[in-house]
Amino acid sequence: MNQAQIAQQAIEEGKGIFRLAPAWVPRSFCRPGKRIKLHPDDYYVFGLERGGVDERWFASTTHADNGPKTPEDEGLSYIVCGKDGKDRVLLRDAVDILKGEIIGEALWKKYGRWSMFSKFFDNFGPLPHHIHHRDAHAARIGQSGKPEMYFFPAQVNNHGGEFPFTFFGLNPETTKDQVLSALKNFSKGDNRLLSLARAYALDVDTGWDVPPGVLHAPGSLCTYEPQFASDVYAMYQSVLYFGHCVPEDLLWKNSPPEEIGNYNYLLEVIDWENNVDPEFHKNRFMAPKPVKPVEEMKDQGYIEEWICYKCKDASAKRLTVLPGKTVTIKDGAAYGIICLQGFGKFGQWALETPALIRYGQLTNDEFFVTEKTAKEGVTITNISSSEEIVILKHFAENPDLESLLK
């Protein structure tokens, strides 16, 4: 079968729900936290030069930007169908073929693609204070800006890693000259950029909104990250805790060739107002918000909460189905899911949360729901008498979010 035939087979077989294969991503500058259920022997399956696997990408049509040795399909989600899941097509290609039938006509007309992905970021230590470019700067290299959000699920945080604190932005009194000096000192040793910022303790089952242009040094909790479909970034901090050094080429990553060496350009990438916001916590922290009164939902066998909701370009919900219950949940937009806990049925599919995954192994914990099916409703059955089903649902633009953002 060709790709179009497989895409059509998949949409019919799952009645509008695609089963997705795990998409594992290594990072050469990271150390795996080993909380994303990959088998211990497989964290360096790509080889030491490419680094350890510390990310799993969900509902992704975005290629991971990991340098010249990156495979063409790294970071991309595959739809699997047919007997034993042997027929497969990239979600990206299926969307190109079936367009609005998968993601909805409004999203297709606006972007001509699925405009978000999510991931588990599972690093044992902190990352450097870094930045994702805004649209204007990303456009100079043919990319899109990258807003993202964080949520720290309890189910994948059995330990906190080395440093469960995240630096966000800059101290309100910071001057541009101070940041410019730190950037110019990048290659001389520790440029002490973190001395200009403040850290926040990370609590499980809470989250943060991180607009493009905001500096952030993610801590070592395993993080669920809904984000716009882009992989642009630049590292502005030179030396991490415990003496880990950052290569200087990452300082200039995703800068136009003509701007490399121009430190003032790096300063321009920063959204200054958001970085020095004295009410950063108030404006960016996210605690879960129930979509309806909790007792009303419990009476119907479930609890659903918005967990990532301060950005219109991508958002996420957490759905809990109580033991022994069957529920039908409707949504206003297409979405992907990852199941964190429990087992049962998700539409036509068996739903299972694996304890351990070998590289290349298929699972029954990740799916994609087309817009039509999302609006009609997905029926979920929890066949356990004792354990909840817990699902994270990631959306691109979702009209259901509008009332919450007002």
> What pLDDT is stored for residue 249 in this prediction?
93
* C-beta of residue 29 within 8 angstroms of C-beta of residue 246: yes
**139-172: per-residue pLDDT in tens?**
999 999 999 999 999 999 999 999 999 999 999 9
CATH class, domain 289-405, is mainly beta
Nearest CA-CA partner of 398 in 153, 115, 146: 115
**Beta strands 165-168 and 198-201: pairing type?**
antiparallel
Nearest CA-CA partner of 91 in 169, 21, 163: 21
Which two structure tokens, joined as six digits, stand for 344? 């049962």
pLDDT for 406 beyond 70: no
How far is it, in rounded angstroms, from Cα 237 to Cα 242? 14
**313-369: per-residue pLDDT in tens?**
999 999 999 999 999 999 999 999 999 999 999 999 999 999 999 999 999 999 999
* C-beta of residue 341 within 8 angstroms of C-beta of residue 388: yes
Beta-strand (E) ranges in 186-293?
198-201, 207-210, 216-217, 223-224, 227-228, 234-235, 285-286, 289-290
> What pLDDT is stored for residue 72 in this prediction?
93
In percent, how much of the chain has pLDDT > 70? 100
The answer for residues whose C-beta is within 8 angstroms of residue 139's C-beta and 6 or more apart is none
Domain ranges of the chain: 3-286, 289-405
Give residue 252's region: left, alpha or beta (phi > 0; psi -120 to 50).
alpha
The residue length of the chain stands at: 406
**271-329: per-residue pLDDT in tens?**
999 999 999 999 999 999 999 999 999 999 999 999 999 999 999 999 999 999 999 99
Q: How many helices (H) and strands (E) does the chain have?
A: 12, 26
Give residue 213's region: left, alpha or beta (phi > 0; psi -120 to 50).
left
Which two structure tokens, joined as six digits, stand for 147? 């807003």
In percent, how much of the chain has pLDDT > 90? 91
Q: What is the fold, at CATH topology level, of the domain defined by 3-286?
A: Jelly Rolls (2.60.120)
Q: Which amino acid is at 347?
A: G
Sign for the pseudo-dihedral over CA of 46, 363, 372, 298:
negative
**224-259: per-residue pLDDT in tens?**
999 999 989 999 999 988 788 999 999 999 999 999
How far is it, in rounded angstroms, from Cα 400 to Cα 330? 10
Q: Which amino acid is at 197?
A: A
Which two structure tokens, joined as six digits, stand for 394? 């990631």
DSSP 8-class letter at 76: P
* C-beta of residue 348 within 8 angstroms of C-beta of residue 370: no
pLDDT for 22 beyond 90: yes
Cβ atoms < 10 Å from Cβ of 300:
13
pLDDT for 29 beyond 70: yes
User: 17 forms bridges with which residues in the sheet?
Assistant: 369
* C-beta of residue 276 within 8 angstroms of C-beta of residue 172: yes
Angle between helices 3-13 and 91-98 (to 10 degrees): 90
119 exposure class (CB count in 10 Å sphere: 0-12, 13-18, 19+): buried
> What pLDDT is stored for residue 405 in this prediction?
74
Helix (H, G, I), strand (E, B) or coil at 24: strand
User: 382 forms bridges with which residues in the sheet?
Assistant: 344
Give residue 354's region: left, alpha or beta (phi > 0; psi -120 to 50).
beta
Note whether 3-286 and 289-405 share their fold: yes
- Work out the pLDDT band at 85, boundaries 50, 70, 90: confident
Sign for the pseudo-dihedral over CA of 177, 250, 74, 225:
negative
**67-76: per-residue pLDDT in tens?**
778 899 999 9
Which two structure tokens, joined as six digits, stand for 137? 């700067």
